[in-house]
């Protein structure tokens, strides 16, 4: 029998050889605890009908991809995440990347913009333009997209607590460019739950935050039918230290909460579910990551069909953007990061991503330089044009190890989702600190393994060379922050202050009622109300969320 033959091979051939190996590691397993077998054979997927699960590409449950042609028909969108210093500098970078062959924009906002403070706020001091572009008013958005026609590009905006404000700005800007909002393509992250779990850029308590999220679902289903209303993010969960299985489980549990909230609002699942999208991390273990992406698609399809009775196949498709793992980038031997990013990008492509950002090798030091970001983009282009991985719809389909790992990860993630269900769902589990504790424990275990050299990080705990800083890093000039504040003051002087006050009062009334807040946000933006003024008005209505200690 095949099983006995493998047992004999392990006992008589593999194990003796392994004991003789000076490079043997204590264990061979994934961070999720799934043990890696020394050999995979057909018996590891015995009983799995590959025509049913994971199915064929473009067919339920979409384990092998959401499109029947995948990259043979259309390559993934190459969407480099960027933004720094000022709207003017960021616009220059965007136009440069588009000239280099980037096929979509991805906007990074600075920290004050993310948490609802203007650039002239004392709380913004030292942070303006440092980790993204500062956006105070519609005027900044006008500069940011100068000479970039919104009707011809797909734009992703990584913004959460202030998502309705930035979306309102994008809508108004499109209309002023003569673009019908119904023709806009893009994504707004709008995923507030992961902020409470892993990232921390929230403003309001969970309930009103969820209300704003579903307001966007409802508004876009009627007015922006091509817009992805949320990018449910596992990326930040993984960056905080989760395992691959936890990344899937906690992300999909958040997705369940968003779908339930929209249905409770009165929306039909098939009217909005097709515009939900996801955002995942691509980490170092190539085959673990490929299996993770396949498992996530299978699980989401089952959840939508069995839990929410979705009838439209598109409602069951898990469409996702991927970013290579920022947490894996090292300041030591930074050129090694180019190799790491290439492996991670390959995992995303083999896993069937719809769009991809590749990190730059100098990001452990600073905002990426032009040279570094070009190398990152070229990495994607080499994969697309030279590697051959885009020539087949599903190159790793049927691979014994990949199919076995996929099945194991589906099962492990389902256990987590069931646990979260038993706690009352994602929101209740967050309140109890469940996801936060699980991530903290996983992060602690991983770091202990690195420090004990049980997990090798090249250049950090093995193959170490004398530390040398990288040359040519980009530094954000502090004068840019002063220019930003000067520009903000100019807008305040030129706008109609009476209309601004009326628009903010109208927003507060909308927030106090049950009506959709998006029209009120749009009115505020049109009046050139600032992000800080708009969020300040909502703080008066909703209050603010305070960090709680989780033990």
Average pLDDT per consecutive 10 residues, the chain (551 residues; last block may be shorter)? 77 82 67 87 83 86 94 92 91 92 91 97 94 96 96 94 98 97 95 94 95 96 94 96 98 97 94 95 97 97 97 96 96 95 98 96 90 95 96 94 96 97 96 95 95 92 84 80 95 97 98 97 98 98 80 43
Secondary structure element (H or E) that encloses residue 395, with its range: none
Per-residue pLDDT at 1:
45
Per-residue pLDDT at 551:
43
Catalogue all structural domains in the chain, each as residue range(s) with its CATH number. 58-451 (3.20.20.240), 495-542 (no CATH)
Find out whether 476 and 129 touch, Cβ atoms under 8 Å: yes
Find residue 35's DSSP bridge partners: 29
CB under 8 Å to 4, separation ≥6 — which residues?
none
- Coil, helix or strand for 430? helix
Phi, psi torsion values for 336, nearest 5 degrees: -60, -25
Per-residue pLDDT at 461:
93
Peptide bond into 157 cis (omega under 30): no
Per-residue pLDDT at 13:
87
Per-residue pLDDT at 307:
97
What torsion do the CA atoms of 321, 327, 331, 337 make, to the nearest 10 degrees?
Answer: -40
Q: What is the CA radius of gyration of the chain?
A: 24
CA 538, 539, 540, 541 dihedral sign is positive
Structure letter (DSSP) for residue 29: B
Dist CA 249 CA 80 (whole Å):
26
Q: At what angle do helices 286-302 and 244-265 cross, to 10 degrees?
A: 20
Model confidence pTM above 0.75: yes
CB under 8 Å to 439, separation ≥6 — which residues?
197, 198, 237, 240, 241, 242, 246, 250
Dist CA 232 CA 148 (whole Å):
27
Per-residue pLDDT at 549:
54
């Amino acid at each position: 029998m095949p099983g006995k033959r493998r047992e004999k091979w392990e006992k008589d051939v593999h194990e003796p050889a392994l004991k003789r190996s000076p490079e043997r590691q204590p264990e061979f397993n994934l961070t999720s605890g799934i043990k890696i077998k020394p050999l995979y054979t057909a018996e590891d997927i015995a009983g799995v009908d590959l025509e049913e699960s994971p199915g064929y590409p473009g067919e339920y449950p979409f384990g092998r991809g959401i499109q029947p042609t995948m990259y043979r028909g259309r390559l993934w969108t190459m969407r480099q995440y960027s933004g720094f210093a000022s709207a003017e500098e960021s616009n220059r970078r965007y136009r440069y990347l588009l000239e280099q062959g980037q096929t979509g924009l991805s906007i990074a906002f600075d920290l004050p913009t993310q948490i609802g403070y203007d650039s002239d706020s004392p709380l913004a001091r030292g942070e303006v333009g440092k980790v993204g572009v500062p956006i105070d008013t519609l005027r900044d958005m006008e500069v940011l997209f100068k000479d970039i026609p919104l009707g011809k590009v797909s734009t992703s905006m990584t913004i959460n607590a202030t998502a309705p404000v930035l979306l309102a700005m994008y809508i108004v800007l499109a209309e002023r460019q003569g673009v019908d909002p119904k023709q806009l393509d893009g994504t707004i992250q709008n995923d507030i739950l992961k902020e409470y779990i892993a990232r921390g850029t929230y403003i309001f308590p969970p309930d009103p935050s969820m209300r704003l999220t579903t307001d966007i679902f409802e508004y876009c289903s009627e007015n922006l039918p091509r817009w992805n209303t949320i990018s449910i993010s596992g990326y930040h969960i993984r960056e905080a230290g989760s395992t691959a299985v936890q990344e899937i489980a906690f992300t999909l549990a958040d997705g369940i909460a968003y779908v339930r909230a929209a249905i409770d609002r009165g929306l039909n699942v098939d009217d909005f579910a097709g515009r939900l999208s996801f955002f995942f991390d691509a980490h170092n273990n190539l085959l673990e990551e490929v299996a993770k992406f396949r498992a996530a698609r299978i699980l989401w399809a089952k959840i939508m069909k069995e839990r929410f009775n979705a009838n439209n196949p598109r409602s069951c498709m898990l469409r996702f953007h991927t970013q290579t793992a920022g947490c894996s980038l090292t300041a030591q031997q930074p050129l090694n990061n180019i190799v790491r990013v290439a492996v991670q990008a390959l995992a995303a492509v083999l896993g069937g991503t719809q769009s991809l950002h590749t990190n730059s090798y100098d990001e452990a030091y600073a905002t990426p330089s032009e040279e570094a970001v070009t190398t990152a983009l070229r990495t994607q282009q080499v994969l697309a044009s030279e590697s051959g991985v885009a020539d087949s719809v599903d190159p790793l389909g049927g691979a014994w190890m990949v199919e076995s790992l996929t099945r194991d990860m589906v099962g492990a993630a389902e256990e987590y989702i069931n646990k979260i269900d038993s706690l009352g769902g994602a929101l209740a589990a967050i309140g109890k600190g469940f996801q936060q504790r699980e991530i903290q424990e996983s992060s602690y275990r991983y770091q202990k393994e690195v420090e004990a050299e049980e997990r090798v990080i090249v250049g950090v705990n093995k193959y170490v060379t004398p530390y040398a800083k990288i040359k040519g890093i980009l530094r954000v000039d502090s004068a840019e922050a002063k220019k930003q504040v000067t520009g903000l003051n100019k807008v305040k002087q030129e706008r109609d202050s009476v209309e601004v006050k009326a628009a903010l009062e109208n927003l507060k009334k909308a927030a106090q009622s049950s009506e959709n807040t998006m029209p009120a946000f749009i009115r505020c933006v049109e009046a050139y109300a600032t992000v800080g003024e708009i969020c300040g008005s909502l703080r008066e209505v909703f209050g603010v969320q305070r960090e709680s200690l989780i033990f």
